[in-house]
Amino acid sequence: MNILLHSTRKIFWALLLGPLVLRAQTPAQLPPGGLMQLQLAQPTVDVSSPVTASAVFDPPVVRVGGKTFYRVTMDAAESSIQWPETIFAPSALPLGKPARGQITQFLGNNFRSLTTFLYEVRPRAIGHFAVTNFPVIISGRPVEIPLAGLEVVAENASAPPRQLLLESSATNIFVGQPFRVRVLLPAGNGNEIEALREIQYNGDGLLTDKTTMRQSIEVVNLGGQLKPVFLCELTVTPIAAGPLTFFAQGYTAGREFTGPISIRGQVSIPGGPPKYVLLISDPVAVQVHSLPPESGRTDFTGTIGKFTLDPPQLSTNRMRVGQPVRLKVVFHGEGDLTRFVPPVPPRVHDWQIIADKSPATSYTLIPQTDETRATPAIPFSYFDPTTAKYVDLSIPPLPVTVVGEGLPVQVAVTDPENKTATPTKLSDLAPGPGKTVASLKPLQLQAWFVGVQLLPVLGLLALWQWDQRRRLLAAHPEIVRRRQARRALRREKRALAQAAAAGDAKRFVHLAANALKIAVAPHFPAHPQALVCAEVLAHLDATDQTGCAGETVRKIFAAADAQFAANVVTATNCLAWKADFDAALQKLEEKL
Amino acid sequence: MKLLRLIIFATFVFATVKNGLAADPFVQGVEFSHAGQFPEAAVAFEKSAQAVPAAGTLVNLGLAEWQRGHAGAAILAWEQARWIDPAEPRAAQNLAFAREVAQVEAPTLKWFETASTWLPPNAWVWLAGASLWLAVGLLVLPRIFGKRKSGWQQSLAALAFGVFLFGLTANVGVVSRTQLGFVLKKNAPLRLTPTETSELVATLPAGEAARMVRARGNYLFIRTATEAGWIERAQFGFVSAAR
């Protein structure tokens, strides 16, 4: 207990006196005027020295129509120079559009700007020409640009003027399609390689990406001759459609290499101070086409090229609601991928999608509900310049299982006697499907069931109809007899036709007599076999009784009766009566 | 040789039956439930119920949905089980438990709707149809066949007609119950007008019973015990699946 009290007391005194003993840390103090000294130690930018200017033709001797450059160099900042719009030159020396550049040179203890104006000249006539001296206002003071002379001769074997070479990887491209351009500075005299500084591309509608710049010294084939060159390569993106022309410019800078550089082959680099000379290249023309209409597609992010997509990988396919998962997507492309714009995640109801910072192409997906069964498809398409078509490269959905938060399956028993009779837990699983139905839609609302209900109605109607018919026939038995007679007559007529066809006269006569009796039997009513010829004749009209029909009936009955007599009628005679018999039977049948 | 053929045949039959059972979504659902994979179980039971609606399948579907936390879907499944088989004891037990836990009320039924719950809906319609035509037949057929109507026939016809009248009211109750449904999603918005940007009238708990009054586009006008308004179709499930 005493030990504890003693320790507590020590801690109390340490806390109380500690602030008096301890001192706050202070930064290291600079000596007075140190900050100013640091600033003064840096080289100053010389703007006060008198400006000097030089003007030369490079080369000074050129043949007619040959290329030479009129180069004016001043050690002043470009912004301080009021350069005239036009320079008066002999008419035989047409000056092209000027290129201008500025470089900062280090002169041992200070910096000095150097500005160059460069005109391409192609003389039209032989002779000695000069661009006379003329004043230029620099920083408010006139500075004399000296005279520069040019000798134009008929033939000249001297080397062409030193200039840059500009090469483009493509000349037929689409707006937004990045392409590589490279500037080459061939080695000068003695195969000495010089660096290039302040490289820039002059031309409208181009976007240069200097982060992609790559410098190297290589030996390349120039006009069939292997020559070391300083090479600077970078990516350019056209941002306007139509024919575009651009050229490159840069200052030779001796051995002042800026940035990393790779050297291949054996080269010699000059010593001594650099000589800053502004060089330009010949212009390069490219044809830039507009992209075809996107026709409502929203998944095009501006990516142009040729790309492929690896199968997307999900960190897990089973997750809880709200649990983030990573979707890793890898695109492969041909050539430069610096301008690749990854797919923009869509806004979907069931998922929160967070894209990684570009240029990464991974996503964080967070399920918002457990009802979703797959990750959302992330639409994406790129433009393929080789086919001039948009290509769909959407990230496909991946099947997942999202598990939600469960509900209690059992509650604590608060009513031990279970007076409320509320179950305290869920039931077990049903062991089998149990009672089934074809559909949860009740039969009352199904159209076919209404149709089924009509069947008993139809049955009752049919029964009623049958009863009515039965009553009618009971009240009128002649209807039944006539119907039976007609049926028997049809049977006899078929037999008659068979007998006539077979030439059986005896049978024909017998059947004909029967048919006549059947035809008149319902009128009496009587059984057909009980009738005789006179009763058949009685049902013929008065004219028919004495006419052909009556005669035929008599002959038929006579022949039928004669079968039992000695005087038998010949078969041919009986069959000849068939036409008359049919006519007589027709008349009797009409009355049936 | 005969024994060998018999063994091969028995093996074939056993394999076929086993594969058939394994492919049965109901069996799969039961296996998933036992394994605690309730999302998969719910999918399997739902598939089975869509193929052949069955009371036991719907009871198990409700259990799987409850375990997933979908109280509305679970209550709907159990109500559908009771729609098919009013005497299903598990469904009744689970409904009582779920309503106690989720603090939602059972739907209030009119007397003829209550009467319609005594038998399955299709039983009522067959009963009404059979009793009607029995009564009609007993009255009409003797006359058709020219026989006298006996006393027992007339009594039976009267009884059948009485059964028909009662069955008719139960059928009206069945049709009326087809408008009953339950809120599926938790905090489902009930809106003043059938538009997505409409003013909220209330938010309904999952499993709340309501009666559909009319439909317009993707919205249903429903009436609960205390509120009335428009709800999205996807957030409301009908017991009979007739709407």
Q: How far is B96 from chain A (nearest CA, A)?
A: 6
Residues of B in contact with A418 (CB under 8 A): none
Give the tens place of pLDDT for each residue, A379-428.
Answer: 999 888 888 889 999 999 999 988 877 787 777 765 556 556 677 889 99
| Residue A38 binned pLDDT confidence (cut-offs 50, 70, 90) | low
Cβ–Cβ under 8 Å, residues A150 and A94: no
Domain ranges of chain A: 53-153, 165-289, 300-403, 478-590
The pLDDT, as a whole number, for residue B97 is 93
Q: What is the mean pLDDT of residues A278-305?
A: 86
Pairing of strands A179-186, A225-238: antiparallel
The pLDDT, as a whole number, for residue A4 is 47
Across the interface, do B67 and A409 touch by the CB < 8 Å criterion?
Answer: yes
Residue A579 has pLDDT above 50, yes or no: yes
3-state SS string for A70-129 = EEEEECCCHHHEECCCCCCCCCCCCECCCEEEEEEEECCCEEEEEEEEEEEECCCCCEEE
The pLDDT, as a whole number, for residue A549 is 87
Most confident of A106-120, A520-534, B213-227: B213-227
Q: Output the average pLDDT for chain A.
A: 84
A53-153 classified as CATH 1.20.1260? no
Task: Please report where in the chains the tokens 């290129």 appear, as a residue.
Answer: A99
Comparing alpha-carbon positions, the chain A residue that sits nearest to B42 is A371
Give the tens place of pLDDT for each residue, A48-84.
Answer: 888 899 999 988 898 888 889 999 999 899 889 999 8
Q: What is the mean pLDDT of residues A495-515?
A: 89
The pLDDT, as a whole number, for residue A571 is 52
Instruction: Select from B39, B121, B242 the Cβ nearest to the Cβ of A370.
Output: B39
Tell me what ipTM this predicted complex has. 0.85
The phi, psi pair for B79, rounded to 5°, reads: -65, -40
End-to-end CA distance of chain A: 143
Give the tens place of pLDDT for each residue, A308-323.
Answer: 999 999 999 888 888 8
Which of the residues A436, A457, A460, A464 would you substitute to probe the B interface, choosing the one with the greatest number of B C-beta atoms within 10 Å?
A436
Give the tens place of pLDDT for each residue, A166-221.
Answer: 998 888 899 888 888 999 998 887 778 888 888 888 888 888 888 888 889 888 88
Residue A27 has pLDDT above 60, yes or no: no
The pLDDT, as a whole number, for residue B76 is 96
Instruction: Select from A423, A433, A442 the Cβ nearest to the Cβ of B52.
Output: A433
Residue B69 has pLDDT above 80, yes or no: yes
| Residue B34 binned pLDDT confidence (cut-offs 50, 70, 90) | very high
By mean pLDDT, which of A13-22, A79-88, A432-441, B184-193 is the weakest?
A13-22
- A165-289 and A300-403 share one fold: yes
Establish whether the linkage from the previous residue to B142 is cis, with ω within 30° of 0: no
By mean pLDDT, which of A205-214, B75-84, B231-240 is the weakest?
A205-214
Provide the CATH number for the domain formed by B2-102 in this structure: 1.25.40.10
The pLDDT, as a whole number, for residue A228 is 87
Q: Which CATH number fits domain B180-238: 3.30.465.10, 2.40.40.20, 2.30.30.40, 1.10.1200.10?
A: 2.30.30.40
Task: Fold for A165-289, please state it.
Answer: Immunoglobulin-like (2.60.40)
Most confident of A220-229, A453-462, A566-575, B232-241: B232-241
Establish whether the linkage from the previous residue to A43 is cis, with ω within 30° of 0: no
Domain ranges of chain B: 2-102, 111-177, 180-238
Q: How far is A202 from chain B (nearest CA, A)?
A: 54
Helix (H), strand (E) at residue A64? none
The proportion of chain A whose per-residue pLDDT surpasses 70, expressed as a percent, equals 89
CATH architecture of the domain A300-403 equals Sandwich (2.60)
Give the tens place of pLDDT for each residue, B121-178.
Answer: 999 999 999 999 999 989 888 888 878 888 999 999 999 999 999 999 999 999 999 9
The pLDDT, as a whole number, for residue A33 is 65
- pLDDT greater at residue A35 or residue A49: A49
